[in-house]
Amino acid sequence: MNWEQFRAILWLRWRLTRNQMTRGSGLGAVIAALAVVALVLVAVGGGVGAIFLGAVAMKSIPAPTLMWVWDGLVLVILFFSLMGVLSEVQRSESVDLTRLLHLPVSLRQVFVFNYLASLISFGTVVGLAFMLGLAVGLTVSRGPRFVLAMPLVLGFVFMVTAWIYCLRGWLLSLMVNPRRRRAIAMWIMVSIILIAQSPQLINLAYQRKARSEREARRATQVQQLLNPDASTASATNAAVTNSPTLPEARPDASHAIQIADVITLAHPWVPVLWLPHGVRRLAEGSFLPAIWGAAGMIALGWFGLRRSYQTTLRFYRAEEKPRSTSRPIQPAKAVPNWVERSLPYVPDDIAGMALAQLRSMTRAPEVKMMLGMGLFMAILLPGMIFLRGGVSFPVAGKPFFGTIAVVMVLFALLQLVSNQFGCDRDGFRGLVLLPTPRDRLLAGKNLALLPMAAAVAFIPLTGVAILAKLPVPVVVATLLQFGAAFLLFCTLGNLASILAPYRIAAGSLKPTKQSWQTALVALGAHCLFPFVVSPVFLPPALGYLAQRLAGLPAALVNMLAAFLMAAGFAWLYVITLRPLGRLLQRRETNILRAVTETTE
Amino acid sequence: MSVVIETTGLTRVFGSLRAVDGLNLSVASGRFFGFLGPNGAGKSTTIKMLTGLLAPTSGQMRILGEDLADENRAREVRRRIGVVPENLALFDNLTGREYLTFIGRMYLLPIATVRTRCDELLAMMGLENEEKKLTLEYSHGMKKKLALAAALLPGPELLFLDEPFEGVDAVSSRVLRDVLRSCVKRGATVFLTSHVLEIVEKLCSDVGIIANGKLVYQATMDEVQQQNGSLEDRFIAAVGGDQAGTQHLSWLAESP
């Protein structure tokens, strides 16, 4: 292995990362410099701090507690390593084989270089420094047998980095296909969000479980206090419920203890837990688990690296695994062409635009991801409110729930609607070349959004209608509010798309080369959105006022007001479409420059 | 013979760079015009301005007799022209057939006509077996062929092609050449940019050479041949390539 070549590859990785961070502005360069300084400081500080921690604070803590501390460390390192690899495979400029193999280096060397270079990451550097520091500290405080914690730490880091490297290679080999690449990038993004949100979700689920257990225990206590006489039961129940003297049932700790026992028992069998297990057994005076653990993790790491190399080799030689041929391949059936279809009462060019746009959006993973996350939030937030239990809502407030759900659904679509041409990317060039009047293009694009918005709105609106037991006129009013809000939303989205378009990276909704002006407009659009769509709250507010002040049925007034509002916004949409079309025509070359890469 | 492309003092400035500098160009109807120039000479910028993809900084242009400055007239002109732009204009998430259908519908062609033309164009371009592939998955050559099919679909009077043969294999290149020849034969005008002089020499009836944003040479191919030289000689003479220093890399001359 040539040291100069290794240094060159390290430099290349560093340069790629630095250039990515500093691209476009001086602020990025400052952030990159600060990040490096922070990495060094955190690694050195963490290592030194861990020595003191191990030498002083952990001198006499019980062995099981020591194990839990190391379990926490393992979790943190796994989290950062996983996040690191997931974000790395999304980068377009990875140091892959094809960019190095024309150089005078062998495949094996490139593989080893790449693996060694991958070790220089935040999670690995800081985690290794901290764990080694802790091992040194424990050796100082608890005796020389804790020297064995160091090979355990090294074995753990080797195993984790080797398998993470294997995962990275596998993902990259899958991403060779551009269509699959986008799907994987989407799932990676979803995974990152879910991993980052997992503590929140687990906490919510645990709280809900604990609450239901507490309520069940409370009900049992009530039953025990109840008089057998049924006639006095409800009065007693009410008295007990309102009584401040009844002791609040405490969450049972036995559940947590059971889980802890299971995890402790699992330690010898789960490789990533061999490090905490080995440390615990060292604290208990047993050497063998630490030695076996270190050897086992090094062996597993070696196996992972070998497997990764074989994947690399297969990829290099373009060897594909033989596919199952149990079923004979059927000739492809002619699939009806979506774009050919016509829509009732819709002019042909608008229908063509709408259907092509809809077809394109339903295949775009970034749009699916955005809709999925919007739907997730639109279900999660009302779900948290309605399924919480023990919360009662005023009847007069119920019509507003549907309106809130409508606003949330549209908010999920905001990024798509406020930068419609950015999402077209190079395709916008095709639209500019079309002879179609621009107002018709806008109408077609807006029409394509309707089924998507309706599909996303369906679940939360249905959920709210059922859980809040909304009367039929209120449901109808909510649907009308949805229509009205959608038209208003499209009008403003068209305007924002024309005035402040920006380029977004392929397969994502990430802005690239965005000027500060367009960034400001995009931020403003997000901040002002609730105010802009606030008129949709007028119908339920009018219904409420009509009932309070004049005794009129709130639901009917709400429905009537929603109908009038929908008609008003439809009229507004129609009269603004043509001027917006003209504005689009005037600005389309500017938009084209903003949303496509122009190399003159 | 009427003039279908006419520019007067056409200029486009990017910051301090004058990419196209006072271009005066005239192309007659029914001609096969090859627009040549070295890298960065302003070919693509010119074609973008002629097709409405880029606004000129100054100057006038008339396409098919219409002034593109008038938005309504410009839209009518677009109905009569076909364009294969430099970076193409495909939608990543549509299949080839879907894209062609979309273009046909936007040109308000009857759906039966769109279907027939799609079948014929896809078959001619050798894309008929790629029904399920998204354009995202197409190779560069396939994308070029699809873009050309889209440009041909409405039966344009004037075709603008920016480097149509770049990245296209020999078989497809032959097909494209035949298609373009037949377009000219039926009376259409083709305006193409290319840096492959052999192709231009074989195909074109007229040639224009641009260097540093200025039109430095325009002639018919017959005139080029009458001047006792190849197109390459004319090209190098026009762009000043013969004055380039023949730098001597001494270390390349040494034995390895």
Chain A residues touching residue B110 (CB < 8 angstroms): none
The string of pLDDT tens digits covering residues A206-264 is 666 666 677 777 777 777 776 655 555 555 555 545 544 444 445 556 666 777 788 88
pLDDT in tens, A57-104: 888 889 888 899 999 989 888 888 877 776 666 554 445 666 666 667
| Chain A CB contacts of B39 below 8 Å | none
Report d(CA B14, CA B11) in Å as an integer: 10
Give me the residue from A178, A356, A593 closest to B94, CB to CB.
A356
Distance from CA of B53 to the nearest CA of A (A): 6
What phi and psi values does residue A599 have, to the nearest 5 degrees? -115, 100
Whether B153 has a pLDDT exceeding 90, the answer reads: yes
Residue A196, SS3? Answer: helix
Which helix (H) or strand (E) segment holds residue B130: the answer is none
Q: Could you tell me if B170 and B199 are in contact, meaning their C-beta atoms sit under 8 angstroms apart?
A: no
CB contact under 8 A, A600 and B19: yes
| Mean pLDDT calculated for residue range B143-165 | 92
pLDDT > 90: percent of chain B: 46
Query: Taking 90 as the threshold, does the pLDDT of residue A468 lie above it?
Result: no
> Is the model's pLDDT at B141 over the cut of 50?
yes
Q: Are B210 and B218 in contact (CB under 8 A)?
A: no
Residue A589 at interface with chain B, using a CB cutoff of 8 Å: yes
Strands B32-36 and B206-211: parallel
- Contact B85/A at CB under 8 A: yes
Q: What average pLDDT score do residues A423-445 get?
A: 90
pLDDT of the residue at A201: 66
For CA atoms B193, B196, B200, B206, the dihedral sign is positive
Are residues A433 and B83, on separate chains, in Cβ contact within 8 Å?
A: yes
Average pLDDT of the segment spanning A316-333: 55
Label residue A28 by pLDDT band (50, 70, 90): low
A183 interaction partners in chain B (CB closer than 8 Å) = none
Which residues from chain A sit within 8 angstroms of residue B71, using beta carbons? 582, 585-586
**pLDDT one-digit tens code per residue, A252-285:** 566 667 777 888 888 889 998 999 999 999 999 8
Q: What is the pLDDT of residue A121?
A: 78
**Structure confidence by residue, pLDDT tens digits, A473-492:** 889 999 999 999 999 999 98
Rg, chain A, Cα only = 31
Nearest CA-CA partner of A125 in A30, A47, A52: A47
Q: Which of A402, A326, A389, A387 is nearest to A559 (CA)?
A: A402
Q: B16: which chain A residues are within 8 Å (Cβ-Cβ)?
A: none
> What is the C-alpha separation between B26 and B219, in angstroms, rounded?
11
Residue of B nearest to A341 (CA): B111
The rounded distance, in Å, linking the Cα atoms of A18 and A32 is 7
Higher pLDDT, A242 or A520: A520
- Both tokens of A562, joined, read 């929603």
Of B85, B98, B107, the CB nearest to A338: B98
The CA–CA distances, whole Å, from A302 to A155, A378, A520, B173 equal: 10, 46, 50, 51
Which chain A residues are closer than 8 Å to B94 by Cβ?
A: 339, 356, 359-360, 363
Residue B228 Cα, gap to closest chain A Cα (Å): 35
Average pLDDT over residues A5-34: 70
- Within 13 Å and on the Cβ side, how many CA atoms surround A258? 4
Alpha carbon of B106: minimum distance to chain A alpha carbons (Å) = 5
Residue identified by tokens 């919510």 is A204
Say whether residue A596 is in contact with chain B using an 8 A CB cutoff.
Answer: yes
Contacts B213 to A, Cβ<8 Å: none
Residue B156: DSSP 8-state: -
Interchain contact, B105 vs A424, CB within 8 Å? no
Residue A251's Cβ-count burial label (10 Å; 0-12, 13-18, 19+) is middle
Among candidates B87, B98, B134 on the partner chain, residue whose Cβ is nearest the Cβ of A429: B87
The mean pLDDT of B194-206, rounded to a whole number, is 88
In a mutagenesis test of the A interface, which of B93, B109, B111 is the best target, namely the one with the most A β-carbons within 10 Å? B93
**Long-range CB pairs of A97-102, under 8 A, 24+ apart, other chains included:** A97/A312, A97/A315, A97/A316, A100/A9, A101/A316
Chain center to CA of A533? 26
Q: Is B119 on the interface with A (CB under 8 A)?
A: no
Q: Does B134 touch chain A (CB under 8 A)?
A: yes
pLDDT beyond 80 at B246: no
In this structure, the number of other CB atoms found within 10 A of the CB of residue A593 comes to: 16
- Give the residue ranges of DSSP H helices in B35-169: 43-50, 71-80, 96-106, 111-124, 140-152
Assess A373–B contact: CB distance below 8 Å, yes or no: no
Residue A497 has pLDDT above 50, yes or no: yes
Q: Does A363 touch chain B (CB under 8 A)?
A: yes
Domains in chain B: ranges and CATH:
3-240 (3.40.50.300)
Residue of chain A minimizing CA distance to B81: A433
Work out the pLDDT band at B219, boundaries 50, 70, 90: very high
- CB–CB of B132 and A426 under 8 A? no
By C-alpha distance, the chain A residue nearest B104 is A352
For residue A359, the chain B residues in CB contact (below 8 A) are 93-94, 98
Residues on chain B touching A428 (C-beta within 8 angstroms): 89
- The answer to whether B88 contacts A426, with C-beta atoms less than 8 Å apart, is yes
| Confidence tier at B64 by pLDDT (50, 70, 90) | very high
Reported as half-sphere exposure (CB side, CA atoms, 13 A), residue A265 has a value of 6
Are residues B102 and A437, on separate chains, in Cβ contact within 8 Å? no
Give the separation between CA B92 and CA B99, rounded to whole angstroms: 10
- Chain A window 236-275: which residues touch B at a Cβ cutoff of 8 Å? none
Q: What is the DSSP letter of A251?
A: P
Contact assessment for residue A113 and residue A5, using Cβ atoms and an 8 Å cutoff:
yes
**pLDDT for res A600:** 34
A382 by Cβ neighbours in 10 Å (0-12 / 13-18 / 19+) ranks as buried
Q: Give the pLDDT confidence score for residue A565 in this predicted structure.
A: 94
Is residue A600 within 8 angstroms of chain B, CB to CB?
A: yes
Q: Among A177, A337, A592, pick the best mutation site for testing chain B contact (most B Cβ within 10 A).
A: A337
Average the pLDDT over A453-467 and give the result: 84
Q: What is the pLDDT of residue A403?
A: 85
DSSP conformational letter for B219: E
Compute the distance between CA of residue B85 and CA of residue B146 in angstroms, rounded to an integer: 12
Q: Give the N- to C-terminal CA distance of chain B in Å, as an integer.
A: 61
Q: How far apart are CA A387 and CA A54, in angstroms?
A: 45
> Which A residues in the span 171-190 are in contact with B, Cβ-Cβ below 8 Å?
177-179, 182
- B92 neighbourhood in chain A, CB within 8 Å: 360, 364, 425-427, 506
Among residues B53, B131, B64, B41, which one has the least CA distance to residue B86?
B53
- Mean pLDDT, chain A, as a whole number? 80
Give the number of C-alpha atoms closer than 13 A to the C-alpha of residue A555, restricted to the C-beta side: 11
Higher pLDDT, A600 or B106: B106
More confident: A383 or B227? B227
Model-level pTM? 0.71
- In the predicted model, is pLDDT for residue B26 greater than 90? yes
- Contact B103/A at CB under 8 A: yes
Q: CB contact, 8 Å: B13 with chain A?
A: no
Question: What tokens appear for A66 in the block?
Answer: 């020591």
For the record, the structure tokens of A335 come out as: 């699939």
C-alpha of A588 from chain center:
33
Q: A40: Cβ–Cβ under 8 A, 6 or more apart, which residues?
A: none
Q: Which residues on chain B are in Cβ contact (under 8 Å) with A366?
A: none
* Separation between Cα atoms, residue A208 and residue A59, nearest integer Å: 38
What is the C-alpha to C-alpha distance for residues A251 and A390, in angstroms, rounded to an integer?
18
DSSP class per residue in A514-544: --HHHHHHHHHHHHHHHHHTGGGGHHHHHHH
Query: What is the model's pLDDT at position A448?
Result: 94
Tokens of B176: 């494209």
Give the residue among A290, A301, A295 at the shortest CA–CA distance from A267.
A290
Percent residues over pLDDT 90 in chain A: 25
Arithmetic mean of pLDDT, B33-48? 92
pLDDT in the model for residue A596? 81
The residues, any chain, with a CB within 8 Å of residue A442's CB and separated by 6 or more, are: A494, A577, A580, A581, A584
Give the pLDDT of residue A93. 45
Nearest to B102 among A356, A361, A363 (CB): A356
Going by DSSP bridges, is the β-strand pair B3-14/B189-193 parallel, antiparallel, or unpaired? unpaired
B51 and A433 within 8 Å at the Cβ level: the answer is yes
> What is the per-residue pLDDT for A156?
94
- Residue-wise over B156-193: b if at least 16 C-beta within 10 A, else e? bbbbbbbbbbeebeeebbebbeebbeebbeeebbbbbb
For A139-190, what is each residue's pLDDT tens digit? Answer: 999 888 899 999 999 999 999 999 988 888 787 777 767 777 777 777 777 7
Within 10 Å of residue A285's Cβ, how many Cβ atoms?
9
pLDDT in the model for residue A598? 45
Residues A367-423 pLDDT 10s: 887 887 777 777 766 666 666 555 566 777 788 888 888 888 888 888 888 888 988
- CB of B92 within 8 Å of a chain A CB? The answer is yes
